[in-house]
Amino acid sequence: MAEPTPPPQAHQRHHQPSGRTPTTSSPSTSRRRATGARMDPRLWSMLPQRLIDRSLAFLPPPALCRMRSVCKYWYHLLSSRSFLELCNLLAPQWRWFLFLSKQTESFGFLFDPETDSWFNLPMPQIPQGFSVVASAGGLLCWSGDAGGHRALLVGNPLTRTVVSIPPLLRPRFLPSVGLVANTDTTSYEIVVAGDDLISPFAVKNLTTEVLFSETGVWQMGGALPRLCSLESGRMVHCNGFMYCMNYSPFSVLAYDLSCGIWIKIQAPMRRFLRWPSLVECNGRVLLVAGVEKSKLSVPKSVRVWALQGGQAWVELERMPQALYERVAAEGCTGFTCVGHGDSVVFITKSDEELLLFDAKQKVWRWLPRSPFMGAELREGLQGFAYDPRMGAWPATRAVVAQLQGSSSSSFGF
């Protein structure tokens, strides 16, 4: 891998959430700062380096990137495999969102819902013809756009580390792809299902393939249910299952990762759903969809259901009618959703703003606009749940030897 380049300038902007007032310094705070300014360097310089490294590992990713400018040791610390493993072990989980535009492959746009902050994230250099299809545990998975024995890539955009995954066993056109990351062991699993090319001009949803990073080898998984019609591209992982939408009529398919078996789950109001999306929020699978039927006695709406007991759906919330009318205005062609933590973000095709639903507080709000994302970049916007982790390691066992001893490329932010 390339040698580290000089640290790039940090880009971020913070937005004060509505209802909050800027914090001010109290007299006690001022005294503490004054006391801190007189800290004895003879004492603090004696701190063991291990304690300093453990303290640094708790910093959020933007602060970690900025700290490289302090000294050479800290700059090269982020290329240390042992420090990255420490970050993976100690760092809190940052439940952020990553938005990617089809208009640019050079940058992604990170959003932190806790602070309403946007960050501009330089993306790794990826060959032409690849698109992000899945995310988990700080890793992204790219899939080649060409049909056939598709090539996949897995990488950490923060460390700019990207590795190639062996080609699929079966030729496929537009399969569904899911990624599962084990942050404790830094291992991961890739699941690819459906769109088997049975001839150069015909596809059928037949098989599943699974790759474990410990082996780096594809294995055939369980057969798909007969007459299923998968949504190409997206899977959602929750509690040992991969979930994806099935069409005509709508239902949900769940793949048990432990035994390799597909299960079919009936969708609520399946004949009246529009633009359904599956998301994961704090260990629950949520189904978000519009409900439209002229003969229904209830208004058109967007509803949120939670899966309980593996088969039953319970309605959690409905979008306020005023919001729905704005989302559905001007002949809305639909929306997509991405969930993470307590938040579900709606990406509409007719509005330049992003809508967030807090599933814990039952609050709906529009996100502040990104200073990095102009109107031209909103076209074809995709959202992914993203945990920015410096220690997320994309290598399979087959390529670990190639990466050991290599320094990381320049970091983002």
From first to last of its 413 residues, the chain has per-residue pLDDT tens of 443 444 444 344 444 444 433 333 344 444 444 444 577 777 777 888 888 888 888 888 888 878 878 888 888 887 788 888 888 788 788 899 999 998 888 889 999 999 999 999 999 999 989 999 999 989 999 999 888 888 999 999 988 889 999 999 999 999 999 999 987 767 899 999 999 999 888 999 999 999 999 999 999 999 999 888 887 768 999 999 999 999 878 999 999 999 999 999 999 988 888 889 999 999 999 999 998 876 666 668 899 999 998 889 999 999 998 888 887 765 567 889 999 999 999 998 767 789 999 999 999 999 999 888 877 777 788 999 999 988 888 876 555 444 443 433 344 56
199 and 152 housed in the same domain: yes
C-alpha span between 400 and 274 (Å, rounded): 45
At residue 39, what are phi and psi to the nearest 5 degrees? -60, 135
Assigned domain for 24 exists: no
Domain that holds residue 72: 56-92
CB 409 within 8 A of CB 160: yes
219 and 326 housed in the same domain: no
For residue 133, the domain's CATH number is 2.120.10.80
280 and 318 housed in the same domain: yes
C-alpha span between 180 and 137 (Å, rounded): 8
Assigned domain for 167 exists: yes
Assigned domain for 376 exists: no
Other residues' Cβ atoms within 10 Å of the Cβ of residue 18: 8
Other residues' Cβ atoms within 10 Å of the Cβ of residue 276: 22
Assigned domain for 72 exists: yes
Final residue of a structural domain among 68, 92, 116: 92
Counting the structural domains of the chain, the total is: 3
133 and 260 housed in the same domain: yes
Is this model's pTM higher than 0.85 or not? no
Is the Cα dihedral 82, 86, 8, 36 positive or negative? negative
**3-state class (DSSP) for residue 216:** coil
Strand intervals (E) in 73-183: 96-100, 107-112, 117-122, 130-136, 139-144, 152-156, 161-165, 176-182
104 and 74 housed in the same domain: no
214 and 148 housed in the same domain: yes
314 and 332 housed in the same domain: yes
Assigned domain for 213 exists: yes
359 and 391 housed in the same domain: no
